[in-house]
Chains A and B, each alone.
Chain A
């Protein structure tokens, strides 16, 4: 009998290891979702099925307020980040390679690499001086901060899309009497749109669940959904937080699924 080719999947314990990893990843989430339907107060003892926690979270005025705030910040930040990322991606792909291009990439992707806590402290100090100088206390600081750290998340799918685009299409548009602006508007932008939407959604999700920077930057009474939940859990772990988390989880899964379908290569 011929020797079987070496295969990593036949190593002893490989399947066990894989199962353990999956369990570690998904068991806690499963528990979270399960106990959001638990009729008892405990998050450790199952007492029966209920939708009470969802109803309660829905009726909670504070939850409504922080959710709206989170959505406002995430919407504004993801739009600003997508516009900035689109311009950055065009600037780094639609021209000849230049000196220091790698440096520019690093600069744009800086929020992915610098520890978030460092950015948070820096923003706290920076915004504090602006607050003193202008007296402005509004949501603008949170939107600005979120926009900044969302840019790389929007930039990566947009750049990937631009790099995969056939440059001859833009040449062809110019050949067919399209001005540079018409070429951008009628050819580049429509072809770029899936990448931009993907970037927008990634940025949105990233902004929606940020805690570290938000905690440092927010003024009093500017809790977002994640920082509110953190505050609640500090006092007492309730199934209401489980219910909210489950809704967030569903929202994220829907967005990321849409992201997957949009960025999937079409044949």
Chain B
């Protein structure tokens, strides 16, 4: 591993339109993606993730800021001079070319000898398991096969970085699961840095080495899937990824004070003042009412999901919470609506948010 990053964006700003009507799609984004990493840009639509990808590919140029590839400033290079390839959301396969011609297109444009183009095309066809389809026109392929051709076409020129713009969103659920595994396999086999754009949190969690969560043109948090899920630093990240309970609290002297005089030790050092605590539903424990250190809550209702059930609760101050509980075979432990119970949580499960 070298000490330069595969891709870097430094203070990248992208505005569309001019003057007062300008829309800021990217707001001073800085991110450094490591060599050989599977990096995911995750966020809702309109968060700027595709804009950032287009800046790296060179389809758009930043209003200000720089884009670096392997430590080299490529901000002003046109897309055809960047050793970066893209898998498009719509695949964008050339309809007038065969599968093999599509895959060989990049190398041919680079002026590589015919023998090399053919050999590499054959390798890529084998890699995506489409040897039998080499002569077909792309319109004759299924969605999943077109997806593979798009991948092979983008990987054939051995790019330094592969950009993937929501490549799985057009596939049905079963095929998407299959392609997730396939993508991960290709990334490990080729060792190429993948920058993957998605709005699907599950996709991001299962595939990525690191995730950058985006909203409103900014990157809010960068970290491993575990860090992002277990240690969200702000409310948006906590809310966007998985389900979360938010509990208002007051920080005083290194402890969080909750309604009803409950005090919780927190791991992080925080300035005194109002704060929001985030706790995942699976980390809430229902205990007998009145137990020391437990919050009092009323059960509103519970929803049975098979392996677990979601118990909806209301704190005394009106805050609504959801606790996820494993179900008993006979349903004996199910709390009844209207029952008053205690809630406890391990201090490690509680995350103090920035906002």
Contact = CB atoms under 8 A, between A and B. Distances in A.
B242 interface: no
A175 B109 contact: no
A177 B80 contact: yes
A197 to B, nearest CB: 14
B86 A175 contact: yes
Taking each of A178, A182, A191, A267, which has the highest tally of chain B beta carbons within 10 Å of its own beta carbon? A178
Contact of A175 (B80, B96, B139): B80
B293 interface: no
Interface residues of B, number: 24
9 contacts: A169-B95, A172-B92, A174-B79, A174-B80, A177-B110, A177-B157, A178-B80, A178-B105, A191-B96
Given A174-B79, A174-B80, A175-B85, A168 B106 contact: no
B297 to A, nearest CB: 52
B57 interface: yes
Contact of A169 (B59, B78, B92): B92
A107 to B, nearest CB: 28
Interface string B64-85: 0000000000000011110011
B240 interface: no
B80 A171 contact: no
Contacts of B94: 169, 172-173, 187
A179 interface: yes
Contacts of A176: 80, 85, 105-106, 109, 153-154, 157
Contacts of A138: none
A182 B86 contact: no
A178 B59 contact: no
B109 A177 contact: yes
Q: In which size bucket is the chain A interface?
A: 10 to 19
Contact of B90 (A166, A175, A191): A166
Given A173-B105, A178-B80, A168 B96 contact: no
Smallest CB-CB A-B distances: 7 pairs: A176-B106, A172-B92, A177-B109, A168-B92, A174-B79, A178-B109, A190-B96
B55 to A, nearest CB: 13
Contacts of A177: 80-81, 106, 109-110, 157
B153 A174 contact: no
A171 B59 contact: yes
Given A171-B88, A172-B93, A179-B109, 10 more contacts: A171-B79, A173-B94, A174-B78, A175-B59, A175-B86, A175-B154, A176-B105, A177-B157, A179-B80, A267-B139
Interface in A169-202: 169, 171-179, 182, 186-187, 190-191
A172 B96 contact: no
Contacts of B106: 176-177
A182 B78 CA distance: 14
Taking each of A179, A182, A186, which has the highest tally of chain B beta carbons within 10 Å of its own beta carbon? A186
